[in-house]
Amino acid sequence: MKISLGTDIGGTNTCVGSVSPDGKVLHKETFATSDYSDGTAYANHLAEVVRTVISQTESQQPEIQFEWLGLGIGAPNGNHRSGCIEHPPNLNFKGITPLVELMQARLKLPTVDLTNDANAAAIGEKKFGAAKDYSDFIMITLGTGLGSGVFVNNQLVYGHDGFAGEVGHISVIPDGRYCGFGRRGSLENYCSATGIRRTFFEMLAQLGSPTALDHLNIGELNSKDVADAAEKGDLVAIATMEFTGRLLGEALASTALVTSPAAFFLFGGPVKAGPILLDPVRKSFEQHLIPTYKNKIKIIESTLPMGNAAILGAAALIAQ
């Protein structure tokens, strides 16, 4: 059986999994990314965990002959072109870590490949998810941030320097919310899970009414609380989801104009809110499209499983 390995590097945890040709995770290991403040020490441990995943996968099905195709890595600020993680804001090892080179030196695998997490998700959706039949599409991942991966002509777009697909940073409200980097008003500060939380506070300010979430600590409130409250009819939460959907729909309508995708695939916690978010997204999207684009472009929920999506995406980098 031809097996790919996928590694998802998150700010908190790193997951490594072995993935079958039909997109099943056979064995998975997790360790704390945040324990490592040095890229080389991290690479040493990652190589060890990869070897554990290989041996565990093989020992679980000793009757099968495994062919290990390679290791795909999805990481924040992962640059496919250079094979390096470059100045990741959310990892403890800063600067430039040549992770592909470090892993090639430590593992006997035919291929090691790296890209950023949202690009990996896009490749995963194409290989194992709902985007199989799409040659031109854009993947949008909603989490702490808002990531994206752009497919044109069946190929992921890397751009001139490997960093294409950063739709989360497009400007949606001039002089809007503070974003870090000294920038303001970018999409991810409104429409990521974190953005939804911020919008809830804005709606509390605007509407001034009591809500079903008044018993929660301010620091604890998250986008799922807001989605659940909206589902149960809380007006402030509903206003939050509608505002989020309206703005995301408008931003996707702008983004569509660059590469004219046949679909957007949406992935992540907030997408699980379902119609209470997606109905306003679709309505606003159509409203903001120019006539030649109307009623042509789908907005589709990702079918990648939440827990293993990033591993599948990273593995798809090898399996594609």
Binding site for a copy of itself (CB under 8 A): 77, 86-87, 134-136, 150, 152-153, 155, 157-167, 169-174, 181, 183, 250-251, 253-255, 257-262, 288, 290-293, 296-297
Residue 126: closest CA among 139, 113, 114:
139
Cα–Cα dist 2/304, whole Å = 21
Residue 122, helix vs strand vs coil = helix
Least gap, CB of 16 to a copy of itself (angstroms): 26
Cα–Cα dist 133/46, whole Å = 34
Least gap, CB of 135 to a copy of itself (angstroms): 7
240 and 200 Cβ atoms separated by less than 8 Å: yes
Q: Which amino acid is at 24?
A: K
Least gap, CB of 143 to a copy of itself (angstroms): 17
Give me the residue label for tokens 């890209």.
115
In the complex with a copy of itself, the residue whose CB is nearer, 64 or 258, is 258
Least gap, CB of 89 to a copy of itself (angstroms): 9
In the complex with a copy of itself, the residue whose CB is nearer, 229 or 252, is 252
What residues contact residue 204 under an 8 Å CB cut-off, 6+ apart?
211, 236
Least gap, CB of 168 to a copy of itself (angstroms): 8
Residue 193: closest CA among 217, 227, 233, 218:
227
Helix axes 39-60, 99-106, angle to 10 degrees: 50
In the complex with a copy of itself, the residue whose CB is nearer, 4 or 77, is 77
In the complex with a copy of itself, the residue whose CB is nearer, 128 or 134, is 134
In the complex with a copy of itself, the residue whose CB is nearer, 166 or 225, is 166
Cα–Cα dist 248/264, whole Å = 11
In the complex with a copy of itself, the residue whose CB is nearer, 6 or 74, is 74
253 and 288 Cβ atoms separated by less than 8 Å: yes
Least gap, CB of 162 to a copy of itself (angstroms): 8
Direct distance between the N- and C-terminal alpha carbons of the chain, in angstroms, rounded to an integer: 15
What are the CA-CA distances from residue 238 to residues 193, 199, 258 (Å)? Answer: 15, 11, 31
In the complex with a copy of itself, the residue whose CB is nearer, 157 or 212, is 157
Least gap, CB of 61 to a copy of itself (angstroms): 40
